[in-house]
Amino acid sequence: MPIRVKADLPAKAVIESENIFIMDETRAIGQDIRPLEIGILNLMPLKHETEIQLLRSLSNTPLQVNVTFVHIASHVSKNTPASHLNQFYSTFDEIRHKKFDGFMITGAPLDDYSFEEVDYWEEMKEIMEFTKKNVTSTIHICWGALAGLYYHYGINTRRIGHKRFGIYEHDVVHRKVPLMRGFDDVFLMPHSRHIESVFEEIWDNDELNVVAESKIAGPSIIMAHDGKQIFVMGHPEYDRMTLDIEYKRDIAKGLKIEVPRNYYKDDNPENTPLLTWRAHANALYTNWLNYYVYQNTPYDIESID
């Protein structure tokens, strides 16, 4: 997919080194094509790494995509320079007048806080409300999925008691749902969190459809029946080494943490992690872009409602 980003975005060089076609603004302007407008609310602390992961995930269809990165204005990032945010990101105030074909809301390391305790929760609520009328389909990831289920459907969260950390098996529940097209009966997806949505509240909600679940991790891909809101409890976009970096970081801090489940060969952290989820991750994001964004969005983006 030709992904359209600002010409000097640092993630652009990394993606191009992987032979993924990235188109800068100058070239895109010369094409007589209406690209899909995708907004990405990046809540992760290491924004550069998340930019690479998500751009890679959106790179597997022939559709042209114009990506707008969004950051929270009511929170000061400790890990990303203000210069990077000022140059490559927009605030919600700067995009609230726009329409988007698709929108992504990432995870965030906020398991120790209730939603109301998060210092930017009011801004999050504004953004999630905005997606209801100004976006064709929104996909929420990990903490973003927990927050979205809580805000849109009142689904509560609970503490797991240990960190759900590693690569988990998931079963496809509804194969005929377009989001699951091309999936095997069982697929793998990374998880990294201490909290979960209350399973019973998801299953009992008639407005939600659980399309994939795990015997251990519970409902893992959930969607509104019209596909306007999609919730992914794991991190399908993660790189091979993401959990490895997280694990060794916590070990260095002296934190109590178990070896990521199903991740290292022979469960030995000295071995290179096995990359076992990339194909299904690509299928998930491609299906979302194709069936829930591209085929549902109007040509005149201003008519999205």
Q: What residues act catalytically?
A: 142, 235, 237
Cα separation, 19 vs 154, in Å, equals 42
Cα separation, 205 vs 182, in Å, equals 27
SS (H, E, C) 28-75: HHCCCCCCEEEEEECCCCCHHHHHHHHHHHCCCCCCCEEEEEECCCCC
Q: Count Cα atoms within 13 angstroms, Cβ side, for 242.
A: 24
Report the amino acid identity of residue 81: P
Contact at 8 Å (CB) between 297 and 101? yes
Question: Residues 6 or more apart from 121 whose CB is under 8 A from it?
Answer: 115
The burial class, CB within 10 Å (0-12 / 13-18 / 19+), for 228 is middle
Select from 138, 72, 70, 141 the least CA-distant residue to 101: 138
The H helix count followed by the E strand count for the chain is 10, 12
Phi, psi of 198 (to 5 degrees): -70, 115
Report the amino acid identity of residue 118: V
How, if at all, do strands 100-105 and 36-41 pair? parallel
Cα separation, 38 vs 136, in Å, equals 10
Q: Distance between alpha carbon 137 and the CA centroid of its chain, in Å?
A: 13
Cα separation, 183 vs 34, in Å, equals 30
